Amino acid sequence: MTPKGHQGRERVGLGAVERFARGEKTVDVAAELRVGVRQVEKWRKAWREGGAQALRSRGPHAVERLSPEQWARLERELGRGPPVHGWGEDQRGTLGRICTLIGRLFHVGYTVQGVWKLMHRHGWSAQVPARRALERDGGAVEAWKEEVWPRVEAPRRPGTLGSASRTRRARG
């Protein structure tokens, strides 16, 4: 979760504290804050045991291993594309490749899941490129669709009633 997400979650939890102090029911608090009843029960228990401070965010669970400068460099390198880093003409920047790139550039080890979380945390998402052959001839494809495909396509069934049974004829 991003730091902004942690702040939002903390705001919602602290909003529950005021309602707990007023003695509102768990179900009502959950409905008002649009969270699950179980979550409100956890917050209420934490509040009883440690006060409002217990509902403050403790920050991200994992400490980021790349400094802001390293992250900026990684983004620049990813922008240059996979071929620059030795992956041929294949334009896919897979998580495994990003793992390898991080190791090569910064000597920091990440798992594939760790790279996914890192990328997601910084606003990157999976992108699937349109896979079209460089040799593709759009005109030839359109001509094939118009001329050849109609001859190859199976003829449609007649518009009469039919039966799924092999032994009975359809009534009509």
Looking at the domain assignment, is residue 8 inside a domain?
yes
How many CA atoms does the CB half-sphere of 102 hold within 13 Å?
A: 25
pLDDT of the residue at 172? 57
Domain presence at residue 142: no
Task: Please list the rounded mean pLDDT of every run of 10 residues in the chain (172 residues).
Answer: 72 86 91 90 89 75 82 91 81 86 92 90 76 76 85 69 65 62
pTM of the model: 0.46
Both 50 and 83 in one domain: the answer is no
State the pLDDT at residue 17: 87
Domain range for 27 is 3-55
Q: Quick one: 90 and 47 in the same domain?
A: no
| The pLDDT of residue 53 | 82
Domain finish residue from 121, 147, 165 = 121
Residue 145: inside a domain, yes or no?
Answer: no
> Which is nearest to 74 in space by CA: 104, 113, 117, 111?
104
Same domain, 48 and 19: yes
| Residue 101 included in any domain | yes
